[in-house]
Structure 1
């Protein structure tokens, strides 16, 4: 095969992108063993490639030829994005420097580790309040809790009124799904996009006359100070923060809990030593990454990556979940080890696009897991592991639709 000859698209099983269950890890291991980069048929009919190993993923993160800009994508894909979810394409996740640098500045000062640590007492209070509503013993679907906690935290951080939160959550969950080659589905995405845009424009207008100690006020101050941001960029940034601020953390809680309950020795270790919570959170992020596939990356020129020729305008999917189980980097990569050190996972990305909300997610995780184990003795799965209901929403997420758990008692705070 010559350097510019197209390799055959991998005949990946249909479940590869539409079933994020346990079988995914086996498929990814087989692909890693067969080479770091593979041509696939996703999006259908597009020129697209997946990157499966840790080393090549790291190189791809740092390669300026892989663009995050919507304008770098093929024209048909640009049209699809703009038609389905225009509110989502004016933020830092769909930009390259210098625009990315400018847009990231809007949020970087707000999501410092120090400021997130100051939220710990309130996060603890919300966690306990939600667990107070659990039955005194028996069963509960933990994903209700997993979504409620980060949504309440990010809503309070944004100072979104209580009565508005259910509709805001419904709209942003819809928008977190990728556009489909389906007119009716894209119509629903556009409806959600228009609704949340109108809501946030009104919120920004109201907040300008009532600035406070909240993230919306911080964004307004930063925007007014620099005078280089459009209102649509503020709205798009807020949508991104709401999506990233609750869905990924919900997946962290769900994925981490099911992994912990399937490995009793690690559960008992964390129960006995809650100080292991920070390293446990990093291990949960690695083992079952809440984001299994990196967001949009497009080749801006013909290039080579991992020994594979990649034509201009190709989609390049960084398979973060696969890289996070690369045995050349992680010892016993398929085993949960909450004391693992040097955990170089990519769950939050890497480099310029490293997740700005990572400090908040880490604090939430370090509060939630010890609290659940302390207050819910006998915590265990209420279904067989093979019956867990993993969600596919055509996006980059890996998470559970439901997580039925049982426990012997609900202890007081």
Structure 2
């Protein structure tokens, strides 16, 4: 089997990875990949991706992986439910799900709308009628929401945003910046200590108080890992859902016109199609083969790492035949996508991200009926690497 090295096509791949995935899928659903000097397996077929995301032989435990444990600068960040297996994952997810309820999420709806309206007011007041959507809207909306939900409205958001970017989309496109991870972890230790000393009615305080059936609580490291996961994942995915969604609409004016004409009937489907067509997470985080296993006709030996390309799976013609996987169609019906994952690690924050996306996109289009790309802005700046999918800036005019 030929070894795939995407580093030879970095700029083209970052701008549009889908032709590369299509070529790989034609050759087979699973491939050997070199990424950042390490060899891994890349899953590009939809059915094989679903299998990998639920395979009992594929572990998410970073700390148990010989290949990657030594690269983690701070162990606390690898103790969240994202990076653990049952039974520990079961316990952690149950404790968080107990507090991160549908009722709590739904209660945020009026506040999400209020924040959205305030940010759009500020954009509308700009005399040049131009703005970078990412900086002016797509970042501050979910950042404000997740900070208020966790009870940290005083978070140093500029610094936190910088750390987050260096972790999920490092400049070298490969590994999280150890300095950023260490600095964010130290900050979160102080934050959790402050919350423990002066708790409120917020989610972080609830997580500090909550106990499982046996009376156990989240350990200090588990609290840090959970805060890390909720703060980073709680805003980065929604930033790119909004940014990628607006780019898709502007690139498909017919679809944009249909959505403007019937927002009540089409906004839910439009958000789902945005998630499928150009979702915010390109690859799921690493899995590790606990035993020898077979996937897509390929033998993966114990100790190997596996990446599931969610973006590739969601353009698989075997799954999305009509009207074609590369067609952006907000009226699409049929099988669901993998943008939020699948199985026990399915994104716990998916309902919040969907709600924020629907409110944000609908309000943006209603407020600026002639919204368009800024022709003077130059080419997009794409996120490096293969974890997140999106642009760092999206200049618009109206």
CA–CA distance in 1 between the matches of 2:163 and 2:201?
A: 25
1:201 equivalent in structure 2? 189
Q: Structure 1 residues 233 and 178, CA, compared in 2 at 3 Å: closer, same or farther?
A: farther
1:26 equivalent in structure 2? 19
Given candidates 201, 218, 222, the residue that maps to 2:206 is 218
CA–CA distance in 1 between the matches of 2:350 and 2:376?
A: 31
CA contact (8 A) 1:271 1:373 kept: yes
Work out the number of aligned pairs and report it.
391
Given candidates 160, 168, 182, the residue that maps to 1:176 is 168
CA–CA distance in 1 between the matches of 2:377 and 2:56?
A: 41
Question: Displacement of 1:72 after TM fit?
Answer: 4.2
CA contact (8 A) 1:391 1:398 kept: yes
Q: Indicate whether 1:50 and 2:42 are aligned.
A: yes
CA–CA distance in 1 between the matches of 2:225 and 2:38?
A: 29
**Secondary structure in 2 aligned to 1:41?**
strand
Matches within 5 A, 1:4-403: 7-12=1-6, 14-15=8-9, 19-22=13-16, 24-46=17-39, 48-75=40-67, 77-81=68-72, 83=73, 85-134=74-123, 135=126, 138-144=129-135, 145-162=137-154, 164-177=156-169, 189-223=177-211, 226-275=215-264, 276-330=266-320, 331=322, 332-383=324-375, 387-392=379-384, 394=385, 396-403=387-394
Q: Structure 1 residues 384 and 44, CA, compared in 2 at 3 Å: closer, same or farther?
A: farther
CA contact (8 A) 2:91 2:212 kept: no
CA–CA distance in 1 between the matches of 2:48 and 2:378?
A: 32
CA–CA distance in 1 between the matches of 2:142 and 2:292?
A: 41
CA–CA distance in 1 between the matches of 2:56 and 2:317?
A: 27
CA contact (8 A) 2:268 2:358 kept: yes
TM-score (norm 2): 0.91
CA contact (8 A) 1:80 1:179 kept: no
> Which range is displaced more, 231-240 or 200-209?
200-209
1:134-173 deviations in whole A, cap 9, x for unaligned? 1256221111111111001101111213363333333233
1:359-383 deviations in whole A, cap 9, x for unaligned? 1100000101110010012011114
CA–CA distance in 2 between the matches of 1:86 and 1:71?
A: 8
1:3 equivalent in structure 2? none
Question: Displacement of 1:63 after TM fit?
Answer: 0.8
CA–CA distance in 2 between the matches of 1:178 and 1:228?
A: 33
Question: Displacement of 1:200 after TM fit?
Answer: 2.2
Q: Structure 1 residues 387 and 396, CA, compared in 2 at 3 Å: closer, same or farther?
A: same
Q: Which runs of 5+ in 1 are unaligned?
A: 1-6, 408-413
Question: Displacement of 1:21 after TM fit?
Answer: 1.4
CA contact (8 A) 1:86 1:193 kept: no
Q: Structure 1 residues 181 and 86, CA, compared in 2 at 3 Å: closer, same or farther?
A: farther
CA–CA distance in 1 between the matches of 2:263 and 2:359?
A: 10
Question: Displacement of 1:311 after TM fit?
Answer: 1.3
CA contact (8 A) 2:207 2:218 kept: no
CA–CA distance in 2 between the matches of 1:336 and 1:12?
A: 25
CA RMSD in angstroms, aligned pairs only: 2.4
Q: Structure 1 residues 212 and 304, CA, compared in 2 at 3 Å: closer, same or farther?
A: same
Q: Structure 1 residues 347 and 213, CA, compared in 2 at 3 Å: closer, same or farther?
A: same
Q: Structure 1 residues 301 and 101, CA, compared in 2 at 3 Å: closer, same or farther?
A: same
Given candidates 375, 395, 398, the residue that maps to 1:404 is 395
Q: Structure 1 residues 402 and 169, CA, compared in 2 at 3 Å: closer, same or farther?
A: closer
CA contact (8 A) 2:142 2:234 kept: yes
CA–CA distance in 1 between the matches of 2:234 and 2:361?
A: 18
Q: Which runs of 5+ in 2 are unaligned?
A: none
